């Protein structure tokens, strides 16, 4: 029952993001598009991912989150690859172990200068933490995405 209570609190905290936590194995995952920019023949989007795991044996909830920037569109390519000099280009930047370093709050400030959004990303983390503590679980925030 405690896992369900924590999940309900997570769903409530994520309402503003128009996202829903889904269970993948023993981990609950949320992926939500929080901002998007479109220009001539290109698109950039900012995604928020939150994951948490409830360990009944140790009575601990482990939580991780990240921001991910996805870009796609036309970019100038090598003449060898494309006779016209243009090619389709797609890039991804993450604020995890594979990409940008720093905690989510710092990344939110960084991306906030580039994208226009008014969401408080701390609401999800704080909602899950509060629910875990009410249910008698400890809360562990994992910066590197390992649950």
Summarize pLDDT for 84-138 with one digit per residue, the tens: 555 555 555 555 444 334 455 555 555 555 666 667 778 888 999 999 999 999 9
Per-residue pLDDT, 99: 39
Strand partners, 99: none
Topology of domain 1-72+86-141, CATH: TATA-Binding Protein (3.30.310)
Domain ranges of the chain: 1-72+86-141
Q: Which two tokens stand for residue 117?
A: 């959004």
Which 8-state DSSP code applies to residue 118? -
CB of 79 within 8 A of CB of 85?
yes
What percent of the chain has pLDDT above 90?
28
Q: Which two tokens stand for residue 6?
A: 């924590």
∠ CA 91-20-120, nearest 5°, is 70
């Amino acid at each position: 029952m405690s896992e369900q209570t924590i999940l309900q609190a997570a769903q409530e905290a994520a309402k503003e993001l128009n996202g829903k936590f889904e269970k993948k194995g023993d981990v609950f995952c949320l992926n939500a598009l929080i901002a998007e920019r479109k220009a001539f023949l290109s698109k950039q989007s900012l995604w928020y991912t939150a994951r948490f795991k409830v360990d009944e044996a140790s009575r601990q909830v482990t939580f991780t989150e990240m921001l991910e920037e996805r870009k796609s569109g036309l970019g100038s390519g090598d003449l060898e690859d494309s006779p016209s000099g243009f090619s389709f280009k797609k890039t991804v930047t993450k604020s995890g172990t594979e990409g940008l370093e720093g905690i989510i709050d710092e990344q939110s400030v960084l991306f906030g200068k580039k994208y226009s959004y008014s969401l408080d990303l701390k609401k999800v983390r704080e909602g899950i933490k509060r629910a875990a503590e009410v249910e008698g679980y400890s809360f562990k925030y994992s910066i590197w995405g390992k649950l």
